[in-house]
Amino acid sequence: MNLAPRASTSRSGRLAAILAALSLAAGLQLGLADDASAAVTAGPVFNDPTGTVAEQRAIRTLLLDHIGQSASGSSIKASVYHLWDEGLAQALADARARGVDVQLMLDESDVSDNADDPSYPVLAAALGTDLTQDSFVGLCPVNKSCLGQPALGASINHNKFWLFSQVDGASNVVVQTSSNMTPSSYSRFWNDAYVLPGNTAIYTAYSDYFAELAGKTERTGDPAVEHLSSTPPFRVAM
């Protein structure tokens, strides 16, 4: 990632506040959630690449559960670096078929680095690729994050998060994670996710940020936004 010095802006300050609030939520657990979030447990989820298949895929299982519990009329929005998981892609396609708006932004290398993987074709067929529609799968530009500035060099879409407007009675669910949706992320790397339901302010801020990724709002041009990732680098299981 390009971490050149940058001036502080209101947008970067707002995102810093989001991350601070997520850190606070980790200590307070349900303290920031409202009563409508009772069906979804707030807190961390970890995979174990050295464990059983279920332990390796703990974060994947969490997301599949949330996708499956998303009702017609609700929305799912996600930003992911790589999604090479046909089963998860099909779950998103199935959600779209039952009336969920599904919006997904991926790094361009999701396709160019693994052209034979069937996940993107499944998503493109089910969601479409028109970013002006209610459902879509979009790719960031080549060698550039969705908000990256060419003058700062190459960049990647490495901030990985999932937003669920309604999950099994819980509303405004944010899942910030270090995990890509790939077999190696499950079986080779230690990853984490933090689930925060029922916090409208944080959910709205993430939604606004996603809208910028998808080009639906004016971009700030702030490198602090373009290279933001709130989760630490993953570790390889030895």
Report in angstroms the alpha-carbon separations of 122 from 55, 82, 90, 140, 149. 26, 14, 7, 18, 30
If you search the block for the tokens 């529609």, which residue do you land on?
133
pLDDT score, position 150: 73
CA dihedral 176, 181, 186, 191 (to 10 degrees): -20
Q: Give the separation between CA 147 and CA 225, rounded to whole angstroms.
A: 7
If you search the block for the tokens 């999604």, which residue do you land on?
83
Q: Residues 6 or more apart from 105 whose CB is under 8 A from it?
A: 78, 79, 80, 137, 138, 139, 140, 146, 157, 210, 213, 214
| Statement: the pTM of the whole predicted model exceeds 0.75 | yes
**pLDDT over 50 at 226, yes or no:** no
If you search the block for the tokens 């039952």, which residue do you land on?
98
Q: Residues 6 or more apart from 166 whose CB is under 8 A from it?
A: 70, 71, 73, 74
Write phi, then psi, for 110 (nearest 5 degrees): -55, -35
pLDDT digits (tens, 9 = 90+) for 91-117: 999 999 999 999 999 999 888 989 999
Number of helices followed by number of strands (H, E) in the chain: 9, 9
Instruction: Strands of the chain (E only): list them.
Output: 43-46, 75-80, 101-106, 136-139, 160-167, 170-177, 189-190, 192-196, 235-236
pLDDT score, position 10: 44
Q: Give the separation between CA 54 and CA 237, rounded to whole angstroms.
A: 16
- Closest by CA position to 156, among listed 212, 213, 104: 213
For the segment 198-204, the average pLDDT, to the nearest whole number, is 96
pLDDT score, position 117: 94
pLDDT score, position 224: 41
% the chain with pLDDT above 90: 58
Length of the chain: 238
pLDDT digits (tens, 9 = 90+) for 135-192: 999 998 888 888 877 778 787 788 899 999 999 889 999 999 999 989 999 999 999 9
